[in-house]
């Protein structure tokens, strides 16, 4: 018994979706992608490695097929809201010269309508760009009205004024002989 998981794919109209089907057998002679619920049909039929490919009229020129060993990837392009349905991959292989159908992956495709609203990604990028531009202009305006050199010199001048030197030699003082040396050790 082969265990299959149900995959859910959510897309927006106009997107492309990939459906990857894994088979346990390498001897596939053909592969089907089928719609199973709303409007049952064979979406695509392809012989081994896509030598021959037939598509349903609703999917004409909207599918791509790729097979590597026992893995098949089918891409549905420009999906429409009407493409929403359950899909299953089936493959045919030969056992004792008799064709046997094997199932692979099952998918549920949900296609949402494309909406035009003001919260689109380009609008967010535009707002961020304009905000950065305004901050840059204000920064340049502010800096152009400040004498930066004046503040730089003043800052260095204050550093020099705040340094305190203590004279530790008492013999260089001329008028302090009358006083006793406060720094001498007795």
Q: What is the pLDDT of residue 79?
A: 92
Q: What is the pLDDT of residue 39?
A: 83
Q: What is the pLDDT of residue 77?
A: 93
Q: What is the pLDDT of residues 52-111, one digit of tens each?
A: 888 999 988 899 888 888 888 999 999 999 889 999 988 888 788 777 788 777 888 888
CA distance 105 to 88: 6
| 44-48, 86-90, 100-104, 169-173: range with lowest mean pLDDT | 169-173
Give the predicted TM-score (pTM) of the model.
0.57
* In the chain, where the domains are located: 6-112, 121-161
Domain 6-112 has CATH 2.60.40.10: yes
CA distance 176 to 24: 105
For residue 14, pLDDT beyond 60? yes
Q: What is the pLDDT of residue 170?
A: 56
Q: What is the pLDDT of residue 49?
A: 67
| 37-46, 109-118, 151-160: range with lowest mean pLDDT | 151-160
Residues 6+ apart with CB under 8 A from 19: 7, 9, 33, 73, 74, 75, 76, 87, 89, 105, 107
CA distance 65 to 54: 11
Q: What is the pLDDT of residues 121-155, one digit of tens each?
A: 777 778 888 888 888 888 877 777 776 556 555 54
């Amino acid at each position: 018994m082969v265990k299959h998981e149900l995959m859910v794919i959510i897309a927006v109209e106009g997107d492309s979706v990939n459906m990857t089907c894994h088979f346990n057998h390498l001897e596939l002679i053909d592969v089907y992608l089928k719609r199973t619920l709303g409007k049952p049909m064979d979406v695509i039929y392809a012989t081994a490695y896509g030598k021959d490919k037939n598509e349903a009229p609703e999917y004409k020129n909207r599918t791509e097929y790729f097979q590597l060993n026992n893995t098949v990837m089918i891409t549905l392009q420009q999906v429409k809201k009407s493409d929403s349905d359950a899909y299953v991959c089936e493959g045919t292989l030969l056992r004792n010269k008799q064709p046997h159908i094997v199932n692979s992956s099952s998918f549920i495709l949900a296609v949402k309508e494309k909406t035009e609203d003001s919260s689109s990604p380009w609008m967010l990028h535009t707002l961020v760009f304009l905000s950065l531009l305004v901050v840059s202009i204000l920064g340049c305006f502010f800096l152009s009205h400040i004498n930066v050199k004046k503040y730089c010199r003043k800052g260095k001048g204050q550093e020099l004024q705040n340094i305190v030197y203590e004279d530790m030699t008492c013999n260089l003082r001329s008028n302090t002989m009358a006083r006793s040396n406060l720094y001498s050790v007795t």
